[in-house]
Amino acid sequence: MKLPALKTMAKVPDQINRRDFLKSGGAAVTLTLAPGITVMAFGGEASAAANPATRWGLLIDVNKCAKDCDACVTGCSVENGWKMGGNPETDAQWIRKVDLTNKQTGREVSMPMMCQHCEEPPCVDVCPTGASFKRADGIVLVDKHTCIGCRYCMMACPFKARSFIHEDLEDQKSYAPRGKGTVESCTLCVHRVDEGGIPACVEACDATGHGAMMFGDLKDPTSDIAIALASYASVGLRDDLRLNTGVRYSNL
C-alpha cells in the first residue's frame, strides 16, 4: 500500500528535519540529563501517523458479499478480541452482517455494517468530554482514556455502530485495550493502518476469495478505491443525513 505520508515527505525533504526535530521533544530532555546520548537514538523511522491529506475509507460491493459468510465479523472479533458471549442485549459488536430483502423485487442482499467513519460524525458532536473524535485522516474513534461511559454517542449514531462494555475483561489484545464502562466501535484497525496494513475484515474477506471489501485512501485519486468510486455508482448509508460516510456500498 502507498503511504501518502511518506510520499509527501519525499517531495519536501526539509520537512523531515523539522518533524524529526519536533519528535525529539522527549529526547531533548534526555540529552540534558544524560550527556552523550544522541537525539537519533530515540528518533527512529518516521511513522505513518494520521495525515490530513488522507481519508481512509471502505467500499463494499454488496453483490460479492455472500449471505452465509461472516468471515469479516470473525476476522474483526479475533483481531480486536471482542466476543459475542451469548448475551445479544449487551455483547459488543464492532461489525455485524445485515440481510436485506427488497419487498417489491424479492432481491436479497447481505452486507457488513460497522462504524461508517462519517465526515460529520454525530457521535463526536454529542460527546461531552471530547473522547469521541475524528482523526486527521478521517478515522472516527473513542479515546477510552477520556470516555466516561455516558453513551450519548450510542444514541446519536444512526447506524447503531457503537457498543458499551458491561463486564470486567481480562487478557485483551495489547494493541486493542478494552475495559468496562467505556464505549467502543470499529477503529478501522487503526493499529494496522498506522503501520501500513489493512483492516482485519478486509483481509478476512479477501482470504475467502469473495473480495467484497476494498480499503484505501479516498483522497488519493490514484488509489484503487478512488478509481472504483469514480467509475461505478455507490451510496453511503443514510445519505439523507449528509454525514458523508467514509464507508460506501455499491450494488445496494
Partner 1 sequence: MITRLATILVLSGLLGAGLFGGAATAQEHSALLPVVPKATGEAHPEGNAFMRINHMKLLRHDRDDTMRNGNRDIDYSLKECVACHVQTGADALPIPINSEGQFCSACHEFAAVKIDCFQCHNTRPELNETQALLSRPLPDAAALSAYLDEVTE
Residues that bind partner 1 in the complex, under the rule CB under 8 A: 23, 26-27, 29-30, 33-34, 37, 41-42, 44-50, 133, 135-137, 141, 143-145, 168-169, 171-175, 177-182, 190-191, 193-195
Report what 45 binds from partner 1, ligand HEC, none; CB cut-off 5-8 Å by kind: partner 1
For strands 95-101 and 108-114, give the pairing.
antiparallel
Q: Is the dihedral of CA 220, 223, 227, 228 positive or negative?
A: negative
Instruction: Return d(Cα 67, Cα 30) in angstroms, integer.
Output: 56
Short-list 186, 59, 64, 179, CA closest to 115: 186
| Residue 47 per-residue DSSP state | P
| Residue 128 per-residue DSSP state | S
Provide, rounded to whole angstroms, the least separation between the CB of residue 38 and partner 1: 10
Provide, rounded to whole angstroms, the least separation between the CB of residue 66 and ligand HEC: 31
Instruction: Return d(Cα 49, Cα 52) in angstroms, integer.
Output: 10
| Residue 22 per-residue DSSP state | H
Provide, rounded to whole angstroms, the least separation between the CB of residue 137 and partner 1: 7
Provide, rounded to whole angstroms, the least separation between the CB of residue 218 and partner 1: 17
**190 belongs to the binding site for ligand HEC (CB under 6 A):** yes
Report what 136 binds from ligand HEC, partner 1, none; CB cut-off 5-8 Å by kind: partner 1
3-class secondary-structure state, position 241: helix
Provide, rounded to whole angstroms, the least separation between the CB of residue 148 and ligand HEC: 10
Length of the chain measured in residues:
252
Half-sphere exposure (Cβ direction) of 25: Cα atoms closer than 13 Å: 3
In Å, what is the CA distance from 234 to each residue of 8, 40, 216, 252? 29, 47, 15, 8
3-class secondary-structure state, position 199: coil
Nearer to partner 1, 3 or 109 (CB): 3
Cell of 240: 439523507
**179 belongs to the binding site for ligand HEC (CB under 6 A):** yes
Could you give the maximum distance between any two Cα atoms of the chain, in Å? 76
Q: What values do phi and psi take at 163, rounded to 5?
A: -125, 160
Among 51, 116, 182, 185, binds ligand HEC (CB under 6 A): 182
**171 belongs to the binding site for ligand HEC (CB under 6 A):** no
Among 42, 133, 164, 175, binds ligand HEC (CB under 6 A): 175
Nearer to partner 1, 189 or 205 (CB): 189
Scanning 37-45, 59-67, 122-130, 176-184 for contacts with ligand HEC by CB under 6 A, the matching segment is 176-184
Nearer to partner 1, 46 or 228 (CB): 46
Scanning 70-78, 103-111, 127-135, 171-179 for contacts with ligand HEC by CB under 6 A, the matching segment is 171-179
Chain residues in the site for ligand HEC (CB under 6 A): 144-145, 175, 177, 179, 182, 190-191
